[in-house]
Amino acid sequence: MKYMTRRESQRHQRSAPVLQASLALLVSLSFVPRTSAETGEQVSALRALEKRIKGVVAGCKPAFVFIKGAQEGGGYSSGSGFCISPDGYVLTNDHVIVGARSIEAYMTGGRYFKTAVVGRDPGGDVALLKLEGDGKFPFLKLGDSQAVRPGQRVLALGDPFLTGSENVFVRGAPANFEPAVSMGIVSAVHRYSETYNDAIQVDLAVNRGNSGGPLITLDGKVVGINGKIETRFALGINTGVGYAVPSNQILRFMKHLEVAEGGTVLHGKIEGLEVGERADEKAGLPVIGVRQGSPAAASGFKAGDLLERLGGLPVRTRSRYKGILGTYPAGDTVVAEVLREGEKLTLKAVLVAGGKAHLGLIPRAIESDVAGVGVGSVVRSSPAQRAGIKEGDIVTMFDGQPITSTTELKSVMNQRRPGDTIVLKLSRAGEDLELKVTLGGK
Amino acid sequence: MAASMSSTGQCRRRLSLLIALSFSITLSLSSPAAGEPGALSAIADGLSAWVVSVKVDRSKDIEIPRSRLPFNGRVSPESQGYFKRPKGSVTGLLVDRRGYILTSNYNLLGTISSITVRLPSGEERKARVVARDRLDDLALIKVEGDADLVEKKSWRDPPWAETSPSAAGSFVFAIGRGSAPGRLNLTEGIISAVGRNSNRAVQTDAKLNYGNVGGPLVDLDGKVVGLSGFVGHTYSQWGLNSGIGFATTAETIRMVLPRLLAGKDIEPPPRPFLGIQSEPASSGNDGAPVVAVVPKSSAASAGVKSKDVIIRFNGEEVPNFNRLRFLIFSCKVGDKVEFVVRRGEKKMTLSGVLGKFPEGR
């Protein structure tokens, strides 16, 4: 951005005589080249930057994926994604594919791939997909989002307004399946906005259809997934405020996404820890309560502690506290640095999945001699469906405990946590079977 | 408040009276680039002789379909203005010494009562529409009078780029001219994608708002790589910048300009039509299921029946309806096509000649 300051310093030195002259004169005058050491330097700086941008774009573009989710009841949800491995794993936003009964993927140039959902993180708006097909896919590498600094130049690849996957100019002419690249800078880091716990804020153009696309540094590394914008009046067009899910958060969830078998991964919290709204001048977030016997108490937290850092990052507000925790999956250990009576302590907290355990079957009275709870329907992509429970099954046992009513089923479910694995005994068409189900979270 | 960015993403709904402010932002971008030193203002100044301001008065404007408006256009009376075209001038490019000016056709839609061109000298001249190119969103206007606008010996063509940008990532600058004398404005961006509109246009993230649309997009060499347009083709209303802008390439303009100078309009080619109604495949990978066949269409004469599933088209696999649509649209009206349908257990190869897409569909 140096050239901006140089321009500023010369603001009054150049006038525009051409603009006051007559047109005929103008035409001839306008060919006088306006070169000076100053402008020459500025142009060569821009040319060097242009060369770098073109190189990054050319290198990253082949790994870009256009994603279309065929929705129940017709219509498509469309967005962007990118390959992250030579065998065809693709990252996108969860909201691009949520509710889709099937997913179509097209790589740059338009080659079609059958696509399956590997894992979903609705709490972080990330989904991992897998393109089916042989051969080596071009792919992008995830970089270190912690190294991203405000002011850093970044690029976004995407399919805004479907300009690459539909021909918006002439209806009925084919699209060219070229992703669009926009350039801008990182405006801020560590922003908290709903499911965007620790977002990178950018000023580059991101619009509908950009969702799921990569945010790329000038080193060609992906540091985030663009997925959200601030907008007003329901216009839904770029305002210069966009948010990306940071790559370090995605990397922490990756091992869970890879084994989710199409299901969802869980976020966690420090169970039993109550913190204040924001820090005072002491520059630490006050711990205002620790539930007895809770995991927080077991980690060694005490009411009156000042929480200074979490996961190595300073904490000043409750939203930042939630934001940092939101970047870790349930089960991970987060290091907390607290100040207690002038002494600095390092505590380790294991994150516990929040919310209620989710099975995903809707009971219905079924006429049968077998005592149990009839399955009226199974929620799509739910733990029950992935475990193989089918409509018409009768649940007879839950972890060895007989189930005879919906109330009993609810009661045992209330004692389980998201992420727990349970064993269900079922009666299907007169035959008994046993299924293991890993409960989800809601 | 934020909106997720898939096309089905839900927007949080809130209206505010700040709509009027958005307008003034749109129109106040005509800051004088001429007073700003450095290489970028030199780029703008280099184009100054050809960049003109165009004021269009109309008795009636076109309407944006309500379905494309936020809240389906159901907003309070004081907010209605947002969905109207802004008042103020737009930009054009002088392409011929006789006084022919090229601008975006979008700038000249509606029922026009008068067109006033303000030349770089500050002189104002009335103008009329000569021809429109609806395929490339271009319109050619001419200042009134038979005499040359620029003497033959002084005239030079605008510095057209010789080739279209070959790859995304190059710096480009959109140049506009406001109605006040001596005012050029310059916005920076990059080429976002090449090959748009069947290789006739490029995409850019340079800020294009109502006033600079129709002006040139220039590169670091000061060459005109295209003319901005197509703002009505995305979800931005009346050219409010979204960072998704387009410019018809200099190469395309060189191709169509002689025809426009001769007063001939250019229309998009007719769309090819097979004549089936389909839906997304259930698995996304099992062909394009035929829900209905349009009577007398090429599909009907080829013998396609509803419940058939089209699995190949012109030798290419058809995994789903989206792909089939792409393959059909890659053909021209009158092309002979061959396709394979699955009917129950059987597979059969059928052929036909693509018709014209019926109007109103």
- Domains in chain A: boundaries: 2-46, 47-264, 268-353, 357-441
Residues of B within 8 A of A168 (CB-CB) are 230, 233-234
Q: What is the pLDDT of residue A99?
A: 86
Say if the Cβ atoms of A181 and B15 lie within 8 Å.
no
3-class DSSP state of A49 = helix
Banded pLDDT at B87 (limits 50, 70, 90): confident
Other residues' Cβ atoms within 10 Å of the Cβ of residue B29: 18
8 A C-beta contact, residue B190 and residue B172:
yes
How far away is chain B from the Cα of A275, in angstroms, using its nearest Cα? 25
> How much of chain B, in percent, has pLDDT values that exceed 90?
60
Distance from CA of A402 to the nearest CA of B (A): 38
Torsion-angle region of residue B238: left (phi > 0), alpha (psi -120 to 50) or beta?
Answer: left
d(CA A92, CA A67): 8
CB atoms under 10 Å from CB of B358, counted, come to 11
Which regions of chain B carry the CATH code 2.30.42.10?
A: 272-356
For A178-239, where are the E strands, in sequence order? 180-193, 196-202, 213-217, 222-230
Angle at B105 between CA B103 and CA B108, to 5 degrees: 95
pLDDT tier at B115 (50, 70, 90 boundaries)? very high
Is the confidence at residue B237, as pLDDT, over 70? no
Residue with tokens 């209620």: A356
Q: Which residues are CB-contacts of A343 (< 8 A; sequence separation ≥ 6)? A: none
CA distance A185 to A106: 28
Helix (H, G, I), strand (E, B) or coil at A173: coil
Q: pLDDT digit string (tens) for A185-239?
A: 999 999 998 889 999 999 999 998 999 999 999 999 999 999 999 887 667 788 8
Tokens of A248: 């370090």
Write down the pLDDT at residue B282: 64
pLDDT band at B10 (very low <50, low <70, confident <90, very high): very low
The verdict on B156 touching A (C-beta cutoff 8 Å) is yes
Beta pairing class for B184-195 and B171-177: antiparallel
d(CA A229, CA B1): 9
Q: To which residue do tokens 């649509």 refer?
A: B325
Q: How far is CA B63 from the centre of its chain?
A: 17
Question: Which stretches of chain B are DSSP H helices?
Answer: 19-27, 39-47, 196-199, 250-261, 298-302, 321-329
Beta strands B2-4 and A222-230 are: antiparallel
Asked whether the beta carbons of residue A233 and residue B70 sit closer than 8 angstroms, the reply is yes
Nearest C-alpha of chain A: how many angstroms from B207?
Answer: 10
Q: Nearest CA of chain B to the CA of A46: how many Å?
A: 8
Q: Which residues of B touch A183 (CB under 8 A)?
A: 189-190, 205
Chain B residues 34-73 with CB within 8 Å of chain A: 34-42, 45-49, 70-71
**B39-47 and A37-60 are packed helices; what angle lies between their axes, rounded to 10 degrees?**
90
Question: Is B5 within 8 Å of A229 when comparing Cβ atoms?
Answer: yes
Query: Does A236 sit within 8 Å of B71, measured CB to CB?
Result: no
Whether residue B244 lies within 8 A of chain A, CB to CB, comes out as yes
> 10 Å Cβ neighbour count for B60?
9
Task: Kindly tell me if the per-residue pLDDT of B27 is higher than 80.
Answer: no
Which of B18, B171, B243 lies closest to A238 in CB terms? B243
Q: Which of B7, B46, B233 sits opposite A168 (nearest CB)?
A: B233
CB contact under 8 A, B156 and A25: no
Cβ atoms within 10 Å of A237's Cβ, excluding its own: 25
Contacts of A16 in chain B (CB under 8 A): 32, 34-35, 45, 48, 182
CB spacing of A171 vs B233 below 8 angstroms:
no
Judge whether B130 and B265 are in contact, CB under 8 Å. Answer: no
Interacting residues of B332 by C-beta distance below 8 A, sequence separation 6+: B269, B272, B354
Top mean-pLDDT range of A166-170, A350-354, B68-72, B308-312:
B308-312
Residues of A in contact with B279 (CB under 8 A): 74
Show the tokens assigned to A160. 């805004």
Give the model's pLDDT for residue A219: 96
What ipTM was assigned to the predicted interfaces of this complex?
0.81
Q: What is the crossing angle of helices A37-60 and A2-9, to 10°? A: 160
Residues of A whose CB is below 8 A from B199: 176
Is residue B69 over pLDDT 90? Answer: no
Do A424 and A435 contact (CB within 8 A), yes or no?
yes
Contact A91, A127 (CB under 8 A): yes
The reported pLDDT for the residue numbered A7 is 32
Which residues are bridge partners to A129 per DSSP? A90, A117
Residue B204 carries which side chain, given as an amino acid letter? Answer: T
Which residues in chain B (112-141) have CB-CB distances under 8 A to chain A?
119-121, 123, 135, 137
Q: B170 touching A, CB under 8 A?
A: yes
C-alpha Rg value of chain A to the nearest Å: 27
Domain A357-441 fold is: Pdz3 Domain (2.30.42)
Chain B residue numbers with beta carbons less than 8 Å from the beta carbon of A236 are 3, 5, 9, 11, 70, 235
Q: Do A104 and B220 touch (CB under 8 A)?
A: no
Contact yes or no for B40 and A42 at CB 8 A: yes
CA distance B203 to B249: 10
Contact B269/B276 with Cβ under 8 angstroms? Answer: no
Q: What is the CATH number of domain A47-264?
A: 2.40.10.120
**pLDDT the model gives residue B257:** 98
Average pLDDT of the residues in B126-145: 96
Instruction: Write out chain A residues lying below 8 Å of B15, CB-based.
Output: 233
Cβ neighbours of A176 in B, within 8 Å: 193, 195-196, 198-199
Token digits of residue A171:
């209806």
Give the per-residue pLDDT at B5: 53
Q: Do A206 and B46 touch (CB under 8 A)?
A: no
Check if A47-264 and A268-353 are the same fold: no
Catalytic residue (one of A125, A198, A203, A393)? A125
**CATH code assigned to B272-356:** 2.30.42.10
**Distance between CA atoms of residues B29 and B21, nearest Å:** 13
List Cα–Cα distances, A152 to A54, A91, A149, in angstroms.
17, 23, 6
In Å, what is the CA distance from A342 to each residue of A279, A345, A390? 16, 10, 59
More confident residue, B212 or B231: B212
Nearest CA-CA distance, residue B344 and chain A, Å: 22
Q: From the candidates A78, A95, A145, A203, give the one annotated as an active-site residue.
A: A95
Span(s) in chain B for CATH 2.40.10.120: 19-261
Alpha-carbon gap: B249 to the closest alpha carbon of chain A (Å): 14
Flag if A27 and B281 touch (Cβ within 8 Å).
Answer: no
How far is residue A143's CA from residue A141's CA, in Å, rounded to a whole number?
6
Residue A238: the pLDDT is 87
CB B2 within 8 A of CB A194: yes
Nearest residue in chain A measured CA to CA from B170? A50
CA distance A437 to A361: 12
**A268-353 belongs to which CATH class?**
mainly beta
Q: Taking CB atoms and an 8 Å limit, are A163 and B203 in contact across chains? A: yes
Q: Which H/E stretch holds residue A321? A: helix A318-325
- Cβ contact B243–A53 (<8 Å): no
- Residues of chain A with pLDDT below 50 are 1-34
pTM: 0.84
Nearest CA in chain A to B124: A23
B177 vs B69 pLDDT, higher one: B177
Q: What are phi and psi of B245, to 5 degrees?
A: -125, 165
> Which residues does chain B have within 8 Å of residue A172's beta carbon, measured at their own beta carbons?
271-272, 329, 357
Comparing CB atoms, the residue among B4, B169, B317 nearest residue A53 is B169
B361 interface with A at CB cutoff 8 Å:
no
Measured between CB atoms, which of A27, A101, A208 is closest to B7? A208
What's the CA gap between B224 and B251, in Å, rounded?
Answer: 10
DSSP A367: -
User: Which residue do the tokens 């839950």 mark?
Assistant: A398
CA B48 to chain centre: 24
Question: B150: nearest CA in chain A?
Answer: A24
Q: How large a percentage of chain B has pLDDT more than 70?
A: 82
B96, pLDDT greater than 90:
yes
A125 classed as catalytic: yes
Which is catalytic among the residues A80, A145, A165, A211? A211
In angstroms, the CA A236 to CA B240 distance is 12
A211 classed as catalytic = yes
Averaged pLDDT score across all residues of chain B = 84
What residues of chain B lie within 8 A of the CB of A237, using their CB?
235-236, 240, 242
Q: Tell me whether residue A102 is one of the annotated catalytic residues.
A: no
Residues in chain A: 442
The pLDDT of residue B271 is: 86
- Residue by residue, DSSP assigns B86-108 as PSS-EEEEEEETTTEEEEEGGGG
CA dist B332 and B135 (Å) reads: 15
Residue linked to tokens 């349930």:
A330
Tell whether B193 lies on the interface with A, counting CB pairs under 8 A. yes
> With an 8 Å Cβ cutoff, are B242 and A231 in contact?
no
Mean pLDDT of B308-313: 94
Q: State residue B11's pLDDT score.
A: 32
CATH class of B19-261: mainly beta
Q: How many CB atoms lie within 10 A of CB A132?
A: 11
Give me the residue label for tokens 């203005």.
Answer: B81
Is the Cβ of B96 closer than 8 Å to some Cβ of chain A? no
In the prediction, which pLDDT does A37 show? 61
B195 inside 8 A of chain A by CB: yes
pLDDT at A90: 98
pLDDT band at B283 (very low <50, low <70, confident <90, very high): low
